[in-house]
Amino acid sequence: MSSFAYRSGVLHAEEVDLRDLASTVGTPLYVYASAGFEKQYLDMTRVFADVPSLACYAMKANSNQAVVATLARLGAGMDVVSEGELRRARAVGVPPEKIVFSGVGKTQGEINYALDQDILCFNVESEPELEQISALASARGRVARISIRVNPDIDANTHAKISTGTYANKFGIPIEDAPRMYAKAAKLPGLSITGIDVHIGSQITDLAPFDAAAERLAALAVHLMGEGHRLEHLDFGGGLGVTYDPQSNSRPPEPQAYAQTILRHTRKLGLKLIFEHGRLIAANAGVLLTRVIHVKQGAGKTFVVVDAAMNDLIRPTLYEAYHHVVNVIEPAPDAPRETLDIVGPVCESGDYLAQKRTMALPRSGDLLAVLSAGAYGAVQASTYNSRLLVPEVLVKGNRFAVVRPRLSYEDLIGLDRLPDWLS
Ligand code: LLP
């Protein structure tokens, strides 16, 4: 059962009434359900229970420390892409031996910080980065465990902005070049080769690209081991898609089917498997709660103007993403329905959360929940239009905690400084 469901006609997060959260914390507001993260994490780890594996949650999906801590309590590792994420993981006690560091442009400062933390593995994205990690590790008298992210030139059939595994993308090194890179890595000081890494994209809803990537990665592993490299793990990245539209008939593959696809190619190798799923774990564990400001009749169109906007949830604007929107008070089955656009107050035509939705017409003051907003929601929020950064609440059963408060206007404008010629 979903962690967000109607109880006596009112949408709840676990046992907490969303109306209560809206009146206590105000809107717009992200609400997360602990059980949502936990279930998805456990479902994904269970299917790999009979092989050595580590699920490193991709923190970029939702890096609130309360979320990271919820998953860390279950034993999750973390996939980080910046010093900021690494610091968040360490701040809530994620052990360094469960942290992998991905990303195409790690700076010297970030590499040094991660070396000092002695993390599990650097996922290296290029030859210059390999040389740099070697030099920095040697200078600090450390050994960096590394895997090289290969680009298998596979089209993940997803939105162009979240596809990463083809040669048109900036990520990884071409898979044909991997043997040469591994030979080079073996000779460089300060490095210990431990794995191979791949990540082909996000919101992938079909197993074929994973199948092709696993086949290529397994073949590369056999080749590299034949050349004398001692591999310990294969990292398949993340990317398994989720259901955004509960009314659609098509469903992304279940973790079980995904695991079978990967294991078909890798079981015989006996290597540890690492995964970096983010969206799969977080997306459906969160909603964006928003209040209707006005209902505005345009020429032949109805606009529901709400207090959340593109700066709070940019996915519809940036990726034409679909997020299902529901009324917090469950409409009567025979309530008249209308086709409408749900838009925010920001001064851009791209500022919408949903377009052409047929639903019971809300009224001014009503609460709406934008579903599947637990991943890539709050983390991509900004203060555009000098709007206050959206707060976050985590629910656990019948309890809740504000895990990021709404900043004040003093916080928002207080960071600006006037130069001496203007003050
Ligand atoms: N590992 C690496 C190296 C990645 O680049 C990503 C996502 C992941 C793991 C996690 O992928 P996931 O399991 O979440 O699909 N902002 C976009 C998504 C960007 C994904 C970037 N990389 C969105 O809102 O759809």
| Tens digit of each residue's pLDDT (9 = 90 or more) over 129-154 | 999 999 999 999 999 999 999 999 99
Distance in angstroms (rounded) separating the CA atoms of residues 64 and 404? 8
Q: Is residue 98 part of a domain?
A: no
Same domain, 229 and 309: no
Which pLDDT does position 366 carry in this prediction? 98
Q: Which atom of ligand 1 is nearest to the CA of 321?
A: 25
286-297 vs 302-306, strand pairing mode: antiparallel
Global pTM reads 0.97
Q: Is residue 401 within 8 Å of 393, Cβ to Cβ?
A: yes
Contact call for residues 368 and 326 (beta carbons, < 8 A): yes
pLDDT, residue 253, reads: 97
Q: Distance between CA atoms of 4 and 7, rounded to whole angstroms? A: 9
Domains in the chain: how many in total? 2
Q: How far is the CA of 209 from the centre of ligand 1 (A)?
A: 15
Regarding whether 305 and 174 lie in a shared domain, the answer is no
Q: 131 CA to middle of ligand 1, Å?
A: 26
Write the pLDDT tens digit of every residue in 248-290.
998 999 999 999 999 999 999 999 999 999 999 999 999 999 9
Answer yes or no: is 64 within a domain.
no
C-alpha angle 192-194-198 in degrees, rounded to nearest 5: 125
Q: Are residues 107 and 194 in the same domain?
A: yes
135 and 166 in a common domain: yes
Residue 239 CA to ligand 1 centre (angstroms): 6
- Residue 13, beta-bridge partner list: 4, 16
Kindly report whether the peptide bond that precedes residue 252 is cis, defined as omega within 30 degrees of 0: no
CATH code of the domain covering residue 152 = 3.20.20.10
Question: What residues have CB less than 8 Å from 285, skipping those under 6 apart?
Answer: 3, 32, 33, 34, 35, 36, 37, 40, 374
Give the model's confidence band at 1: pLDDT under 50 very low, under 70 low, under 90 confident, else very high. low
With vertex at residue 183, the alpha carbon angle to CA 181 and CA 188, rounded to the nearest 5 degrees, is 90
Contact 352, 346 (CB under 8 A): no
- Residue 372: pLDDT band with limits 50, 70, 90: very high
Can you tell me the distance from the alpha carbon of 212 to that of 153, in angstroms, rounded to the nearest whole number? 10
- Protein residues with CB under 6 Å of any ligand 1 atom: 58, 60-61, 79, 102, 162, 199, 202-203, 237-239, 276-280, 315, 319, 376
CA nearest to 149, candidates 216, 81, 197:
197
3-class state of residue 193 by DSSP: strand
Give the pLDDT score at 158.
77
236 alpha carbon to ligand 1 midpoint, in Å?
Answer: 12
The whole-angstrom separation of Cα 58 and Cα 254 is 19
| 56 a catalytic residue | no
**pLDDT tens-digit profile of 8-21?**
999 999 999 999 99
Using the atom order of ligand 1, give the atom closest to the CA of residue 314. Answer: 24
Q: Is the predicted pLDDT of residue 128 greater than 80, yes or no? A: yes
Ligand 1 closest atom vs CA 204 = 15
**Residues 265 and 134 occupy one common structural domain:** yes
Q: CA-based Rg of the chain, rounded to a whole angstrom?
A: 23
Q: Label residues 8-44 b or e (16+ Cβ within 10 Å = b).
A: eeebbbbebbbeebbeebebbbbbbbbbbbbbbbbeb
In the predicted model, is pLDDT for residue 388 greater than 60?
yes
Last residue of a domain, one of 275, 301, 320: 275
Is 339 contained in some domain? Answer: yes
**Distance in angstroms (rounded) separating the CA atoms of residues 313 and 60:** 15
> Is 399 a domain residue?
yes
Check whether residue 133 and residue 243 sit in a common domain.
yes
Closest C-alpha among 223, 204, 222 to residue 261:
204
HEC per residue, 41-70: HHHHHHCCCCCCEEEEEEHHHCCCHHHHHH
Give the per-residue pLDDT at 210.
97
For residue 288, the model assigns a pLDDT of 99
Candidate of 80, 275, 279 to mutate for ligand 1, largest count of ligand atoms within 8 Å of Cβ: 279
Mutate to test the pocket of ligand 1, among 202, 203, 235, 258 (most ligand atoms within 8 A of CB): 202
Tell which residue, 187, 120, 180, has the closest CA to residue 147.
120
> Of all protein residues, whose CA lies closest to atom 5 belonging to ligand 1?
199
Instruction: Report if residue 171 sits inside a domain.
Output: yes
CA distance 118 to 148: 18
State the pLDDT at residue 165: 72
Residue 61 covered by a domain: no
Ligand 1 mean position to 249 CA, how many Å?
24
Q: Which two tokens stand for residue 253?
A: 């593959």
* CATH, residue 304: 2.40.37.10
**Rounded-to-5 percentages of helix, strand, coil across the chain:** 35, 25, 40
- Measured from the Cα of 203, ligand 1's closest atom is 15
- Ligand 1 center–CA 6 separation, angstroms: 30
Range of the domain at 18: 4-31+283-414
The preferred substitution site among 37, 40, 60 for testing ligand 1, maximizing ligand atoms within 8 Å of CB, is 60
pLDDT > 70 fraction of the chain, expressed in percent and rounded? 99
Is the pLDDT score of 167 beyond 90? no
Q: Any residues with CB less than 8 A from the CB of 416 and at least 6 apart, and which? A: none
Mean pLDDT of the chain: 96
Distance (angstroms) between ligand 1 centre and the Cα of 59 equals 9
- 214-234, pLDDT tens digit by residue? 999 999 999 999 999 999 999
Find the Cα–Cα–Cα–Cα dihedral 186, 192, 195, 196, rounded to 10°: -50
Assess whether 118 and 230 both reside in one domain.
yes
* pLDDT at res. 156: 83
Regarding whether 348 and 223 lie in a shared domain, the answer is: no
What is the average per-residue pLDDT within 284-309?
97
What H or E segment, with its residue span, contains residue 23?
helix 18-25
Alpha carbon distance 324, 330 (integer Å) = 14
Give the separation between CA 325 and CA 80, rounded to whole angstroms. 30
Over residues 154-181, the mean pLDDT reads 84
> Which of 157, 276, 317 most suits a substitution to test ligand 1, by most atoms within 8 Å of the C-beta?
276
Q: Which of 49, 347, 415, 418 is catalytic?
A: 347
**Picking from 150-159, 226-235, 335-344, which range would have the lowest pLDDT averaged per residue?**
150-159
3-state DSSP assignment of residue 272: strand
Residues 241 and 303 in one domain: no
What ligand 1 atom has the least distance to the C-alpha of 239? 15
**Which tens digits make up the pLDDT trace of 31-61?**
999 999 999 999 999 999 999 999 999 999 9
